[in-house]
Amino acid sequence: MGLNLESKKAIVAEVSAQVANAQTMVVAEYRGIEVGDLTQLRANARRSGVYLRVLRNTLARRAVEGTPFSVLANQMTGPLIYGISADPVAAAKVLNDFAKGNEKLVLRAGAYAGKALDKAGVQALASIPSRDELLAKLLGVMKAPVAGFAVALGALAKQREATAV
């Protein structure tokens, strides 16, 4: 059963709202994926803050019209699932990680910062650590000198105790 005009407008508005806040969009072909696997992909996307949706391509083209993601319009053919995220690498990472374990999901293209990415570009984007990972590494680097100083003070205190006795 087809969608009526109001439903189509609502879908375009919902996707347009997601696109307005997004930095990355990834498009993948999902032909032949079992329902359980698709459910697992959706759960992974939710955990990572990725908006994941199967859309009619004409509705997707309307939603991205006039945005930096309009460069993907030529790739919007066939049965596609769209991953949209505000985190620059989250959508690419979720879909790429799933595609590694399920050969039926085929990465098609992506867009980041107004530039179209091919499959290799999406995979390269997915290999970049996420913002949270980078912040954790930065925190570790910042914490190391303080931890080293604390260990040195502790050793000095033990040394003084040993010589005082």
pLDDT in the model for residue 150: 78
Residue 82 confidence (pLDDT): 93
- Long-range contacts formed by 117-124: CB under 8 A, 24+ apart: 122/26, 122/92, 122/95, 122/96, 123/92, 123/96
- What confidence score (pLDDT) does residue 160 get? 77
pLDDT (0 to 100) of residue 1: 54
* Amino acid 142: pLDDT: 81
pTM of the model: 0.76
Q: What does the chain come to in residues?
A: 165
Under-50 pLDDT residues of the chain? none
Beta-bridge mates of residue 85: 24
> What is the distance between the alpha carbons of residues 76 and 60, in angstroms, rounded to a whole number?
8
